[in-house]
A and B are shown apart, each in its own frame.
Chain A
């Protein structure tokens, strides 16, 4: 089994506050890990650190190629959804279909609801072909159907040898390893 994400004795400080330290874990092929914890405990920061968008104060983070879905949409509002997703991946059709977005391919991004936009960011991740998925609050704004579709995508991704790191304070479908973040300390 190949390790796709490795944290070694990592400490992260944001705005002068130590969010966590001494954090070590590995995420290998076929594994899923949920980062849980109260608001402000550093879940999103951990995801951004894993993505390489933030730098650790101490420790080492090793990562394979990855795709990230967070609250930032990163799709051009004036374009049709299909074209906007094509900027990131030439053929997003399969992923759009898997998330129930196929009928919205010609709808302008600016007219989509927040739930539809959430599905679109997840479709970008699904279409990326990256082995490691980082999902920040993937259930936000998703309805029951969206959550079910996401669950199915995650299952298939794990079977295909991928790994998923998700930050959420909600219960995610399926069996997840848990990583609890608390106030200013590692779990």
Chain B
């Protein structure tokens, strides 16, 4: 059942406009040269930070699709009745969300890096930082999605909740402090299932 659930969530993530956050990510990255000007040296200096801002904003887009449809449709209730704990549901959703978001974001980081004149060693470091940071970002997205599921204006609420909590990922990711970034990402990934599980439980009425 758990395997079927991962497959199902991944399938729904990929068929449900998985390209949208990625297109948004590229668009934000493309805006930076327009806003800053075509100074290659300046661009490559702020490049990594710009990529991270683009990634965080792109991570907001799928949040409303992560938990709320399954809550409203009774899917979460039926999963619990089939003996799957809410924390396990959350963990599965985090894994499936990362699968539909992380790899695509890493691929999209190549054109984004080209737009910002990031190359060579800096590009490799950026890709590694994204690889390390995206599980934490996916976990945070699922936790925030569960906390805001069923609320009016959940999308805006989710932005207000997620962006401040993602600041540590942004700081360590952009500064290339990979060990600290990994620690934050691990903490988020380990804690988010419990937060999301409790939020799912509290949302049952």
Max count, chain A CB within 10 A of own CB: residue among B80, B81, B205 = B81
Contact check, B74 vs A54: say whether CB atoms are below 8 A apart: no
Binary interface encoding of chain A residues 49-75 relative to chain B, with 1 for a CB under 8 A from any of its CBs, else 0:
001111000000000001110111111
Given A53-B204, A54-B204, A87-B4, answer yes or no on A74-B78 (Cβ-Cβ < 8 Å). Answer: yes
Other-chain contact of B82, A70, A75, A78, A88 (Cβ < 8 Å): A88
* Residues of chain B with a CB closer than 8 A to A124's CB: 78
> Which residues in B have their C-beta under 8 angstroms from that of A67?
81
**What's the interface size class on B, roughly?**
10 to 19
Using A51-B81, A53-B80, A66-B81 as known contacts, say yes or no to A73 and B73 having CB atoms under 8 A apart: yes
Q: How far is the CB of A73 from chain B (nearest CB, A)?
A: 6
Nearest chain A CB to B56 CB, angstrom units = 29
Residues in chain B near residue A87, CB distance under 8 A: 4, 8
A143 within 8 A of B: no
Q: A76–B12 contact, CB under 8 A?
A: yes
With A54-B204, A88-B78, A88-B82: A72-B73 Cβ-Cβ less than 8 Å: yes
Q: Give B163 Cβ to nearest chain A Cβ, in Å.
A: 31
- Judge whether B77 and A68 touch: CB under 8 Å: yes
Given contacts A54-B204, A72-B77, A88-B78, contact A78 B4 (CB under 8 A): no
C-alpha gap A48/B203 in the complex (Å): 13
Q: Which of A119-139 contact B (CB under 8 A)?
A: 124
Partner of A53, one of B8, B77, B82: B77
Contact residues in A for B205 (Cβ distance below 8 Å): 14, 54
* B75 & A74 in contact (Cβ 8 Å cutoff): yes
For B204, what are the chain A residues with a Cβ–Cβ distance below 8 Å? 48, 53-54
Q: Which residues of B contact A78 (CB under 8 A)?
A: 12, 15
Nearest CB of chain B from residue A37's CB, rounded to whole Å = 19
Which residues 67-107 in B have Cβ within 8 Å of A in the complex? 72-75, 77-78, 80-82
Interfacial chain A residues near B73, Cβ < 8 Å = 72-75
CA distance A48 to B72 in the complex (A): 15
Interface residues of A (CB under 8 A from B): 14, 48, 51-54, 66-68, 70-76, 78, 87-88, 124
A-B pairs with beta carbons under 8 Å apart, 10 shown? A51-B77, A51-B81, A53-B77, A66-B81, A67-B81, A72-B74, A73-B74, A76-B8, A76-B12, A78-B12
A-B CB proximity, top 10 nearest? A72-B74, A74-B74, A74-B78, A74-B75, A53-B204, A74-B73, A53-B77, A68-B81, A72-B73, A73-B73
